[in-house]
Amino acid sequence: QSVLTQPASVSGSPGQSITISCTGTSSDVGAYNFVAWYQQHPGKAPKLIIYDVSNRPSGVSNRFSGSKSGTTASLTISGLQAEDAADYYCSSYTTTYTRVFGGGTKLTVL
Amino acid sequence: EVQLVESGGGLVQPGGSLRLSCAASGFTFRNYWMSWVRQAPGKGLEWVANIQQGGSEKYYVDSVRGRFTISRDNAKNSLFLQMHSLRAEDTAIYYCARLDGDFDYWGQGTLVTVSS
């Protein structure tokens, strides 16, 4: 059960856009459109911000968007705001009925 | 309002056992898959186990299979994780999460520390 590959850190200035990648295999990200993204602020529980590759739960800002190509999913945050500074994790359903997370990406808003 | 409240964490010696509980409210518990996800101090998220609505289907990450057992009591809206043969690497915050396609609601977590 491998971990999905994410960059350890990304940064951007307020108002800019950033993209976080999440690379898996044909047994997880590439197999289904069941990729999700979670935001986690320090000391808090994770929060679902994207599900099924590109859908936003009610109440999540439309500045967050998701996409997928092959075995790589991506999260884009546009119009960066200070409160977007957090850790971001991708996850995927797998062909063995399990779940796998990415290693996490720390977003710094400069 | 959906609420998930974990309990049962604490300090345990290597080789010991612990049982975690998660009390659910604000939704029809018996209609949803449920999960445990953990996070070691300063590390990323790791999926631990899932259980189907009726409890008949269960899935585990390789590192805990045979040592941990996920279960549920739909009459009491409760989820459990029985942990045996605990190791230092099991030290983490353990989150209970509702699984509706993805982990859409999370509890605040309970800390398990395995140390002598």
Residues in chain A within 8 Å Cβ distance of B102: 34, 36, 48, 51-52, 91
- The per-residue pLDDT string of chain B (116 residues; one tens digit each, 9 = 90 and over) reads 999 999 999 999 999 999 999 999 999 999 999 999 999 999 999 999 999 999 999 999 999 999 999 999 999 999 999 999 999 999 999 999 999 989 999 999 999 999 99
A31-82: per-residue pLDDT in tens? 999 999 999 999 999 999 999 999 999 999 999 999 999 999 999 999 999 9
Nearest to A89 among B44, B61, B95 (CB): B44
Minimal CA separation from B44 to chain A, in Å: 6
Strand residue runs (E) in A3-110:
9-12, 18-23, 35-40, 47-50, 64-69, 72-77, 86-93, 99-101, 105-109
| B61 with A38: Cβ contact below 8 A | no
